[in-house]
């Protein structure tokens, strides 16, 4: 059975939504970040990066959200969570997920994980002061330039939707009002109502 290492409020939510949407048989292993369990020797043996998500499969451990999302889409093709037969559309989906991982998530991380990039408190404070601006700029670009509607990629619901939903769920904490983005707000509300997301929210 698949096992997802997870922590509430993290990007691992996207992988969990994908597993739920896929109807996968999986179990959750929750890490308590307040207790730094992600840096425990036991977890570092599973994921030396000390981060979630990590998905334990019968062939080994997968990390990195975009890779896990595509793995789930390919491992459960009946769920139709990616355009697996269209090279161009599949690449567009991966481009969206890569943008979230490399830019939007990193914007957010500057607010709480500044120690990854700097040493001084003044540097952390400076990075943190930029988060609302960079998150808003990224979300504006997604809303105006990337989001096809009614789902991220158009008519087909894909793993990108749970990933965008995860980013939208961080906005209030990053000082960004989702009401500034009516399309993303509508997407967030429709995502929240999906049975798979409801199941996750009931067991956060």
The count of chain residues that interact with ligand GSH, using the rule CB under 6 A, is 12
Q: Minimal CB distance to ligand GSH: which residue?
A: 51
In angstroms, what is the minimal distance from the CB of 78 to ligand GSH?
25
Q: How far is CA 124 from CA 35, 38, 201, in A?
A: 22, 21, 31
Q: Among 82, 101, 176, 197, which residue sits at the site for ligand GSH (rule: CB under 6 A)?
A: 101
Q: Among 2, 4, 6, 10, which residue sits at the site for ligand GSH (rule: CB under 6 A)?
A: 10
What is the rounded distance in angstroms from the CA atom of residue 48 to the CA atom of residue 50? 5
Q: Are strands 60-63 and 54-57 parallel, antiparallel or unpaired?
A: antiparallel
Question: Residue 41 or 179: which CB sits closer to ligand GSH?
Answer: 41
In angstroms, what is the minimal distance from the CB of 65 to ligand GSH?
4
Spatial neighbors of 177 by CB under 8 A, at least 6 apart, are 171
Cβ atoms of 84 and 90 within 8 Å: the answer is yes
Residue 179: Cβ within 10 Å count: 9
Question: Residue 65 or 134: which CB sits closer to ligand GSH?
Answer: 65
Residue with token string 């040493």: 119
User: Which tokens go with 31?
Assistant: 């890490």
Q: Among 2, 4, 11, 69, which residue sits at the site for ligand GSH (rule: CB under 6 A)?
A: 11
Binding mask 129-148 for ligand GSH (x = CB under 6 A): --------------------
ω before 58 within 30° of 0 (cis)? no
* First-to-final CA distance of the chain: 20
Question: Residue 113 or 199: which CB sits closer to ligand GSH?
Answer: 113
Question: Residue 52 or 153: which CB sits closer to ligand GSH?
Answer: 52
Residue with token string 């509300």: 189
Tell me if 51 contacts ligand GSH by CB under 6 A.
yes
Question: Residue 109 or 183: which CB sits closer to ligand GSH?
Answer: 109
Q: What residues make contact with ligand GSH under the rule CB under 6 A?
A: 10-11, 38, 50-53, 64-65, 101, 105, 113
């Amino acid at each position: 059975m698949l096992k997802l290492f997870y922590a509430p409020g993290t990007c691992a939510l996207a992988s969990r939504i994908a597993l739920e949407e896929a109807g996968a048989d999986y179990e959750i292993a929750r890490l308590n970040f307040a207790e730094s369990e992600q840096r425990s020797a036991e977890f570092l043996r599973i994921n030396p990066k000390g981060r979630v998500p990590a998905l334990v499969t019968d062939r080994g451990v997968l990390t990195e959200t975009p890779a896990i999302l595509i793995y789930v889409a390919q491992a459960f093709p009946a769920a139709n969570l990616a355009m697996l037969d269209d090279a161009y559309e599949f690449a567009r989906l991966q481009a969206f997920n890569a943008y979230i991982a490399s830019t939007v998530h990193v914007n957010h991380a500057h607010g709480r994980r500044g120690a990854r990039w700097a040493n001084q408190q003044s540097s952390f404070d400076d990075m943190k002061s930029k988060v609302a601006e960079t998150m808003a700029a990224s979300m504006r670009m997604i809303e105006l330039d990337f989001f096809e509607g009614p789902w991220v990629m158009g008519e087909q619901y894909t793993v990108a939707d749970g990933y965008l939903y995860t980013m939208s769920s961080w906005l209030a904490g990053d000082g960004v009002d989702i009401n500034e983005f009516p399309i993303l707000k509508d997407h967030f509300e429709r995502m929240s109502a999906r049975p798979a997301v409801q199941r996750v929210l009931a067991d956060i």
